[in-house]
Amino acid sequence: MPFGGSGALHVGSLIKEVGLASALIPRYPGVTSALGCIAADMRHDRVMTINQLLEELDTVDLRQRVKDSAGHGEDLLRKAGIRLDGVEVLCELDMNYVGQTHTITVPQHLPLPDDDDVRAAIAAAFDRSYSATYGRLLEGIPLRVLNLRVAVVGRRPEFDLSVIAPAVGATARRPVTGSVGGWGMATGGNLPAVALPVGEQISGAGSPGTARCDDLHRPGPGGRGGLLR
């Protein structure tokens, strides 16, 4: 899927040279990344070093750090003034067996249990994650908690792409054909892709102008363009 100011311009050549069956060109290629930013959930992450053995873990401090980080992220979301459907707090620990140089990420259920129960819950979560990753556990080796990760995620309302779909009843206009460098092609933006109705197909070479960029399709045997919405 090509996008960006010139991404769609080269899609025809890429299809031919790479041997692709087809390509999907976004309705507005030049602003696809910006559209993704608008539609994506808002998220604030905070990572803090712990570096303690699990059996020596200061659970009171851990619980307070989670609470403070969650509150900080929620404040940032409120200050953004963006409509959200909900807010979710995610908590993870980077952990390993003592002596290992690599860590695994261990999700934690919130709120954390009180007192020593939190250590047992963390150990059980580590066993599940480690077993799922490596297929076995290492017996008799202490666990170390390296980092605490807290993410506050603001869930945005689902983005309805139908609001930027072609108007109901839209029809494709017949392009004016010409020649550029020996290629027969549509000229002058007479075949705007943004105006093509859903399911419309074009065949042969052409330059269907999209919003903020053009798409150049070379002629070829059985060449056929389709637009997906």
Render pLDDT for 135-162 as a digit per residue (tens, 0 to 9). Answer: 999 999 999 999 999 999 999 998 887 7
| Two structure tokens written together for 9 | 């311009």
Residue 114 has pLDDT above 50, yes or no: yes
- pLDDT bucket at 35, cuts 50 / 70 / 90: confident
Q: What is the pLDDT of residue 1?
A: 82
- pLDDT bucket at 54, cuts 50 / 70 / 90: very high
Distance of alpha carbon 202 from alpha carbon 218, whole angstroms: 12
Residue 193 has pLDDT above 70, yes or no: no
Distance of alpha carbon 111 from alpha carbon 122, whole angstroms: 12
| Two structure tokens written together for 114 | 């009180």
Distance of alpha carbon 80 from alpha carbon 7, whole angstroms: 32
Render pLDDT for 78-87 as a digit per residue (tens, 0 to 9).
Answer: 999 999 999 9
Q: What is the pLDDT of residue 204?
A: 54
Q: Give the position of tokens 């309302």.
A: 157
Where in the chain are the domains? Answer: 8-37+161-226, 41-155
Q: What is the pLDDT of residue 184?
A: 45
Cis upstream peptide for 111 (omega within 30°): yes
Q: What is the pLDDT of residue 188?
A: 42
Residue 192 has pLDDT above 50, yes or no: yes
Residue 224 has pLDDT above 60, yes or no: no
Q: What is the pLDDT of residue 225?
A: 39
Residue 60 has pLDDT above 90, yes or no: yes
Of 26-35, 37-46, 153-162, where does mean pLDDT reach its minimum? Answer: 26-35
Distance of alpha carbon 206 from alpha carbon 183, whole angstroms: 9
Distance of alpha carbon 128 from alpha carbon 108, whole angstroms: 11
Q: What is the DSSP letter of 229?
A: -
